[in-house]
Amino acid sequence: MAILTIDQIRLAQDVTREEIEIPEWGGSVVVQGVSVADGMALLKQMQGEDGEIDSEKATLYSIVVGVVEPKFTDADVEWLKTKSMSAVTKITNAFMRLSGFDQAAVKAARKNS
């Protein structure tokens, strides 16, 4: 593989999207990963008062930020809490995978915040 130039990296379309089937809802949604800047901002939003990642916030923000079709907003958060955990988990897992969030990334972000 060739060494990339700065311009090649800058122009690379590396934030990926994926259509995720949600049988519980009878269709699919489009989930997109995030950039580094958006990911770091999102990790800060997911933190609870104790500085730890709040799993409820992480799950719900994954949907609001990660689902691009249809587009959810903060106003949808309350009713999203009433939806199937199985459906929501499919979306959250896809968002985390597409964004490169794994356990190591989350731990590193906690240390740097």
pTM across the whole model: 0.79
- 21 falls within a domain: no
Instruction: List Cβ neighbours of 87 (8 Å cut-off, separation of 6 or more).
Output: 22, 24, 25
Closest to 22 in 3D by CA, of 63, 55, 65? 63
- 39 falls within a domain: yes
Q: Which domain holds residue 56?
A: 34-112
Mean pLDDT of 5-18: 95
Lowest mean pLDDT among 7-11, 41-45, 75-79, 91-95: 41-45
The total domain count for the chain is 1
